[in-house]
Chain A
């Protein structure tokens, strides 16, 4: 990579070109940028390799359908944690989607005033709140009044994590819906709420689904907000007012435990978690492709 050749007409006047020192500096800077990009790829490759190497061995049907075994007994699975993560993310989605999509629609359709600016700033603030702080807040707001840790509290904590992503992405995709759609519907005499409900929202639905899935994938891997809300459980439970197991918390507990077998299971759990996240991301890519084609 050297400097680009000067245009032909100027070439005679610039016959000498940049000095050797500047050329060396150019080469050095360019090479360091290439090097930086190469180094950034390394961690991903290493993490993927180690996940497969350490986690693949424990991957079996048993892992998905069995409950954890007591300390000292080998084997067992994380069925309750997988179901628990599903349930927690389900609760979070049920809460965050109506609120988030509603707020996003508001920002896109009515959000040019002072209230819009305020809500937008608040959503930005919210996305910057550390997830552990969300956990502490939900502990005080839900767990303490309820008197116990619960799946509901965990789901609400995850909903708070999901909310800003959904709000902002919904606003962006709804703004992409052409003005002419709205004008055509209004010209036909439809009231504003019907225009939004029957024309704008369906047109933006692909993008909204993508936004929700992205938020969902992020929430599924969150650990910190669950530590003091859903807590964890070694038993089978689908009750929303009881503590519930989740994959990330299991990985955390099993990784810190002094038993080799548990550490191995933590790797397998991480592999499964990452596969879940990847499947969701792949779905995102498929839906966005569908939208782009339309």
Chain B
């Protein structure tokens, strides 16, 4: 049975590699830097999707890391026990909501709100930056980044919380005894916990990279690369979700499988790095390292 686990992973990797082979042979490295996506002429390049995945995940982390870390510090250092338990429970619930429900909310609630209130303001006041040029569509990179941020916050909170809780109390007590304020003492603990927190952030990145349904529903799905966060885009996961069942032609299907292969490789590297960091910081407590 234990070997079955191994076999399943090997089968997934093998199937990806096999399915992607025609595309790898046809396009080689150009696949990763080309912006062509022409099923009729059978010319494929994945750059817009690599770009979309990178931008939406980065935006998600920019929003989620400060919030998640602040919440973790609040839960470990500041919150009274009862409030802490309640907030912890809410964070757990956020993690339990299916991705499709986030997508529904992003599409029907967040998008109209962004379109009517947030994006016109951004265009009017920050429109001099290329980041905020264009039209207020509601759906697009900004929406995807926000929805992803909400989805990865629980990962950041729960792991940073464990990492912070595993730090020796003596660190904080020593700082306080030297006359540090509470925030300064927390900063000392945070500094010691840095590798573990970095691990939490990278695990969250792994989740954001592979997240499919919610992003597909709110990102707008065009294969254009735009500097503006307000413009629609597409990610590796969303292009697969959108076009896989419609892919006619061997090369078209193979190109999509190659995207899945690249996505798999990226998440594996990211996750392996994260787990290494978290396990080192918490001294190999598996409940923490496996929390995501």
Binding site for B on A (CB under 8 A): 1-4, 6, 14, 18, 22-23, 25-26, 28-30, 32-37, 39-41, 43-44, 46-47, 50-51, 54, 98-103, 105-107, 111, 115-116, 118-120, 122-137, 139-141, 160, 163-164, 167-168, 171-172, 217-218, 220-224, 227-228, 231, 248, 251-252, 255-256, 263, 266-267, 270, 273-274, 277-278, 281
A49 to chain B, nearest CB (A): 9
Bound-state CA distance A260–B36 (Å) is: 35
With an 8 Å Cβ cutoff, the count of chain B residues facing the other chain is 84
Interface SS majority for chain B: helix
Binding site for A on B (CB under 8 A): 1-6, 8-9, 11-12, 15-16, 18-19, 66-71, 73-75, 77-79, 87, 90-91, 93-94, 96-105, 107-109, 150, 153, 157, 176, 179-184, 186-187, 206, 209-213, 217, 237, 240-241, 244-245, 256-257, 260, 263-264, 267-268, 270-272, 275, 286-287, 289-290, 292
Contact (Cβ within 8 A) A132 B91: no
**B residues in contact with A137, CB < 8 Å:** 11-12, 15-16, 260
**A residues in contact with B184, CB < 8 Å:** 22, 25-26
**A residues in contact with B99, CB < 8 Å:** 221-224
**A residues in contact with B275, CB < 8 Å:** 124
Contact (Cβ within 8 A) A136 B19: yes
Closest-by-CB residue of A relative to B217 is: A255
B182 to chain A, nearest CB (A): 5
B178 to chain A, nearest CB (A): 10
Contact (Cβ within 8 A) A131 B212: yes
**A residues in contact with B271, CB < 8 Å:** 124-125, 128
Contact (Cβ within 8 A) B2 A221: no
A278 to chain B, nearest CB (A): 8
Closest-by-CB residue of B relative to A43 is: B150
Contact (Cβ within 8 A) A130 B237: yes
A110 to chain B, nearest CB (A): 8
**B residues in contact with A171, CB < 8 Å:** 286
Contact (Cβ within 8 A) A136 B183: no
From A23, A102, A140, A167, contact of B18 by CB (8 A): A140
Contact (Cβ within 8 A) A274 B98: yes
Contact (Cβ within 8 A) A217 B78: no
Query: Sorted from nearest, which 7 A-B pairs have the closest CB atoms?
Result: A130-B210, A221-B98, A36-B70, A102-B1, A128-B271, A29-B183, A26-B181
A sample of 9 more A-B contacts (CB under 8 A), given A130-B237, A256-B217, is A1-B182, A18-B179, A40-B153, A111-B2, A129-B9, A136-B16, A137-B260, A223-B99, A273-B98
